[in-house]
Amino acid sequence: MARAAAWIVAVLLGASIAARQPKPRFEVASVKRTESPRPQAAPIPRAFPGGQFRADMATVEDLLWFAYGVRQDLIVGGPDWVRKDRFEIGAKAETDAPADQIKLMVRSLLEDRFQLVTHIEQREMRFQALVRARSSGPLGPALERMDECSPAVVNELRRKFPEKYPMPAGGAVSGCSSKGLGDLAALLTMGLGIPVIDASGLTDSYYYTIRSRFSPAAALIGRTNDDPDLPALSTALQEQLGLRLESRRGPLDMLVIDSIQEPSEN
């Protein structure tokens, strides 16, 4: 009985300590309203080497998509300016940080500077599930397993091995998906305009390269990539990554904005 009581106290103490641990935050951060993009502007929120984060024309919805991996049509609530007003944000962590840590820091920035309060709520709807094309077979040649997805590691691999780890240009969509394919699913969601959920069962980090007519950046501004020499996305996913999209219906997590305030600029 004494041992059991001591074990319960230890578990409760550990949970209490974990709850008191501070969330990761940027060392410095700047938030400004903006109406016109600057040269070399980053239209999509992105993490950069050295623990840096930048978004030059981002709405709060864009920031929530980056920080939580939730597509904009799965974000509900909040005033109109959350979806209309754009902000120029530059931030830097104290040290170099992997992408998943940068996302947590953006969550903290939203809570600190926008006084954001949210909760998750499930609703029934249709979505696309990203699954393995061959359940027991190998993955595709353009899906490389990685130990770490930090911007510094990715940029160094791109510099040393540009053919194996190409930049996202010239008909190639590429990047690193951390701890499963959730980041890739979020990118597909953004470009296809429908919810895409990672149901691959993979838990490692991967560098992906998709050479196809799919272009999330073009889709964001209402354009398409119609290069006839490139395959359709469905073909590229199966042949290059060993993946496919499967239509499903079920409960999806919606991010509900309970309250938010316009930030004070600095």
Buried b (16+ CB within 10 A) or exposed e, 137-147: eebbebbbebe
Kindly tell me if the per-residue pLDDT of 11 is higher than 60.
Answer: no
Average pLDDT, the chain: 84
Identify whether 12 is part of a domain.
Answer: no
Same domain, yes or no, for 203 and 245? yes
Same domain, yes or no, for 162 and 62? no
Contact 97, 12 (CB under 8 A): no
Same domain, yes or no, for 60 and 174? no
Share of the chain above pLDDT 90, in %: 50
Kindly tell me if the per-residue pLDDT of 177 is higher than 80.
Answer: yes
Contact 220, 44 (CB under 8 A): yes
Identify whether 3 is part of a domain.
Answer: no
Which tokens belong to 152?
């510094």
Confidence category of residue 228, pLDDT binned at 50, 70, 90:
confident
Kindly tell me if the per-residue pLDDT of 252 is higher than 90.
Answer: no
Same domain, yes or no, for 93 and 190? no
Same domain, yes or no, for 34 and 147? no
Identify whether 10 is part of a domain.
Answer: no
| pLDDT for residue 10 | 41
| pLDDT for residue 5 | 42
Contact 101, 24 (CB under 8 A): yes
Confidence category of residue 19, pLDDT binned at 50, 70, 90:
very low
| pLDDT for residue 74 | 86
The stretch 121-146 carries a mean pLDDT of 91
Same domain, yes or no, for 130 and 214? yes
Residue 56 belongs to domain spanning: 23-123+252-259
Kindly tell me if the per-residue pLDDT of 16 is higher than 50.
Answer: no
Contact 127, 252 (CB under 8 A): yes
Same domain, yes or no, for 209 and 244? yes
| pLDDT for residue 213 | 81
Which tokens belong to 52?
């840096």
Share of the chain above pLDDT 70, in %: 85
Same domain, yes or no, for 206 and 119? no
Confidence category of residue 41, pLDDT binned at 50, 70, 90:
low
Least confident of 38-42, 111-115, 145-149, 165-169: 38-42
Kindly tell me if the per-residue pLDDT of 63 is higher than 80.
Answer: yes
Same domain, yes or no, for 116 and 152? no
Same domain, yes or no, for 228 and 130? yes
Task: Give the residue among 126, 201, 153, 203 at the shortest CA–CA distance from 47.
Answer: 153
Prediction pTM value? 0.64
**CA 181, CA 187: separation in Å to the nearest integer?**
10
117-132/196-198 β-pairing = parallel
Same domain, yes or no, for 145 and 236? yes
**Number of domains within the chain:** 2
User: How many Cβ atoms sit within 10 Å of the Cβ of residue 17?
Assistant: 9
| pLDDT for residue 112 | 95
Same domain, yes or no, for 169 and 201? yes
Confidence category of residue 22, pLDDT binned at 50, 70, 90:
confident
